[in-house]
Structure 1
Amino acid sequence: MITILQAANLGLRFLLELCLLASLSYWGFHTDRGLLLKIVLGIGTPLLTAFIWGMFLSPKASVAIALPFLLALEAALFTVAVLALYATGKHSLAVLLGAVYVLNRLLMWVWEQ
């Protein structure tokens, strides 16, 4: 039973990563600036985040960093995503994303994933 829950937690982790990128894209496309800036932010912000995630945070990251820095960078990216959702008026989604991230990270720590 615990193996199924651990696998579900890893699946949730992947969905959280997608939500991170989607929230940044949503924020970028919903800024109050011109169309060109909306396009740059809506596409560029998630691309930059995906690049950072791939370089430092993914399981096969090309640059290994110490666990405290890894956790801090990960928390910073999710904090930015939560704030981006909050800034667009999606307060409930922002709180939900933050809460699910904290729960997921806690379970990953408990299960040493």
Structure 2
Amino acid sequence: MEILKSINLGLRFLLELCILVLFGYWGFKTGSNAFLKFLLGLGAPVLFAVAWGTFLAPKSPLRLHEPWLFLLELALFALAAWALYSTGKTDLTVTFGVIYLLNKILMLIWRQ
């Protein structure tokens, strides 16, 4: 069972990294000119990383408490899914959402 819990935590870390990639992909696909593509492609992942590190990271002094912690996490994952969906990657969006939901359910069950 401990191996499965470790795998689930590793999956969680990969999902967080995927969000960085998703926001970067969205930014480079969304911008109307080279400057805007560059700004969104690099700025969106940086903004996500700052928000996550400030309010959701386990050792952050500004870490939110429940239910705000869960609500911000859900909002960031939903925003990443929307960003991917808006680029036309419907199948990847559904896959990302399902994996996140399964991971979150297991994290709640296993109190991770």
> Could you tell me the TM-score, scaled by structure 2's length?
0.97
Supply the RMSD in Å over aligned alpha carbons: 0.8
Query: Is there any run of 5+ residues in structure 1 with no aligned partner, and where?
Result: none
Q: Determine if the alignment matches structure 1 residue 95 to structure 2 residue 79.
A: no
Q: Determine if the alignment matches structure 1 residue 76 to structure 2 residue 78.
A: no
Distance 1:88 1:62 in 2: 35
Is this contact kept in 2: 1:6–1:111, CA < 8 A?
A: yes
Is this contact kept in 1: 2:57–2:63, CA < 8 A?
A: no
Q: In structure 2, what is the equivalent of residue 57 of structure 1?
A: 56
Distance 1:112 1:36 in 2: 44
Distance 1:61 1:21 in 2: 19
1:56-84 Cα distance to aligned partner (Å, 9 max, x none): 11121230311110000000000010011
Distance 2:54 2:75 in 1: 15
Number of positions where the alignment pairs a residue of Structure 1 with one of Structure 2: 112
Structure 1 residues 43 and 32, CA gap change in structure 2 (3 angstroms): closer
Query: Is there any run of 5+ residues in structure 2 with no aligned partner, and where?
Result: none
1:4-30 Cα distance to aligned partner (Å, 9 max, x none): 000000000000000111001000000
Q: Give 1:42 deviation, angstroms.
A: 0.3
Residue type at the aligned position of 1:87: S
Q: Determine if the alignment matches structure 1 residue 33 to structure 2 residue 32.
A: yes
